[in-house]
Amino acid sequence: MDEAGLLKGLNRPARAGSMDASCAMSAYLPAALLLLAGLVGLAAAWIMSGSGSGRYLVIAPWGASRAEAINLVRAADGGLVGMGRLSNIIIAGSNRPDFAAALRRAGAWGVIATPSRIECGEPLPGGQAS
């Protein structure tokens, strides 16, 4: 092939669909990772703002029933504030300064301080939440 034939092929426009799909997706990967890191940071900051609220997200051992999770909180001298979707996850509260340590001694797998604004509030006289 002569030089004119090579140059003719170089001047040909690229096809619209010639870009590989994996290349197109990898172009968005840095932005997706940055978004994920930002969301994780915001969630961690929100959870960490709960220190001193006296309320904790309590994770009982896997497979524990709701009653077992509540009994774990009562053994630590606390009370039930709310319930999670899974039977072993509840929100508990207490005025004890060492409540988190007491929950761990009673057998909780995880104890995370929660902000007081995680609940809807105390019921109003008409039965509606604040």
Q: What is the pLDDT of residues 36-95, one digit of tens each?
A: 999 998 877 776 665 566 788 899 999 999 999 999 999 999 999 888 888 999 999 988
| Number of domains, the chain | 2
Cβ within 8 Å of residue 78, ≥6 positions away = 92, 93, 94, 96, 99, 102, 103
Asked if 92 and 106 sit in the same domain, the reply is yes
Domain carrying residue 61: 52-113
Measured between alpha carbons, how far is 54 from 93 in angstroms, rounded to an integer?
A: 5
Residue 16 in any domain: the answer is no
**What are the tokens at 81?**
């504030």
Express each pLDDT in 7-53 by its tens digit.
555 555 555 555 566 677 788 888 999 999 999 988 777 766 655 66
Kindly state the DSSP code that residue 13 receives in the 8-state scheme: P
Asked if 74 and 106 sit in the same domain, the reply is yes
> Has this prediction a pTM greater than 0.85?
no
Measured between alpha carbons, how far is 74 from 103 in angstroms, rounded to an integer?
A: 9
Asked if 85 and 34 sit in the same domain, the reply is no
Give the containing element (helix H, strand E) for 82: strand 79-83
**What are the tokens at 21?**
């799909």
Side-by-side strand order, sheet with 55-59? 79-83, 89-93, 55-59, 110-113
Kindly state the DSSP code that residue 128 receives in the 8-state scheme: -
